[in-house]
Structure 1
């Protein structure tokens, strides 16, 4: 099917007029770039129409005096007659070539459009086929899963049937077990009642113990306060003891110094006594009466 034209002669003529007004040359490529769409063959055909209109308008705008106009027209007619034949032949050939190109471009454009439509149809068919194949694969997987679940369900049913058969065979033993379990439940129920009673007693004891614990905490707080005061007094006494020790050490040092002085004085007194005895002996040997000298008083410390 043929394509509808996406451009009009008015669009091509308007763009060509704009390019000419800007001082440019309205070529096929320039017009195509301004349009941004359409086939080159169609644009070339419409541009040829515009050029023909421009030539006719230029010929209509020429106004000369009648005599000169006749002379010019005669000259131009002669010249045109001489040059028209090859030009018309070239123009006809170029127009035919342009028309052929335009027709070929349009035919190729139609072919491309048809091929694009065919490709789109093939792509849609392929997508549909892929979707159908995916759906079939999903259905097949679902059928496989359903079959596997059914096999599992059948196997489970057989297992449950075997278990039920075993339970039926073991029913007498189960009834005896049930009686024993009921007896155990009765014992447990009695034990639970007794446990609840004991729990009530323990709750009362707990309340009493909590009261005692509060009193013990208060007593501990008072004992802690007393301990802090005792520690403060002990620290004060320790400081006083340290001061007393310093005082004792000072006094001991002074006593040691005085003892040393006293020992030195005694040694001096002993040496003096020995000197006096020696002197008395010498005097006695010389016949000098001696009288004991009064003893020196030792200075008190």
Structure 2
């Protein structure tokens, strides 16, 4: 929408009259400088109106005898006929230029007002963007703190996993000990069978071999005690082996849970801000380390 004129025709006409009375020429620039405001196009239009009024006043004040007026008018008509066409053309050109100037001035005024509105909209968008940036910075800080906590939890899980691996490495030795104990137990059982057989033979030869039978019974009792000790030791080793397997399964389940939690935190950090690449890379590196730890075990 065009801006309303801040000057009136009376102001322009009064200044033009004053300049003319002072002996000067009321040009567009001289009138605009005395006004101190208003667009050049508006001043040009009003000044042209004043000039048209001046020409009419000049024609009205001419009073001559009728015969002389007739001669003069005929001469003026002849001269005016010759000069009117270029003057009218020049006047029309000046009026068109003044109108174009006024239109351009109004267009530029509208453009300036539109730019001012756009500037206000940009300022509002800037404030909104700054608010979003602050919120993203807060979200990024929270994501980094969460990643640090998860990394610490992962370190603790890695330590516990290392302990479990040590126990797992000790399992073959426990199995070897169990195999040895089982071998000893089998030998003790075989010895017991042989002792019982010897006892049967000694029973048949009870009269002659009473002393040897008593010794055999003592041997059998000793072997039985040793067998009981070996069985108890085998049961303890079996219980220790079962506990170690349960501990390893617990650690493996906890490792999977931690891997799922770390993957969730990394996705939340990526959604909080595309610019949170640092937190994402740390989470990815952390996931890579867990995969590296899990591969030997899976193999």
TM-score range, shorter chain: 0.3 to 0.5
Higher relative contact order (CA 8 A, sep 6+): 2
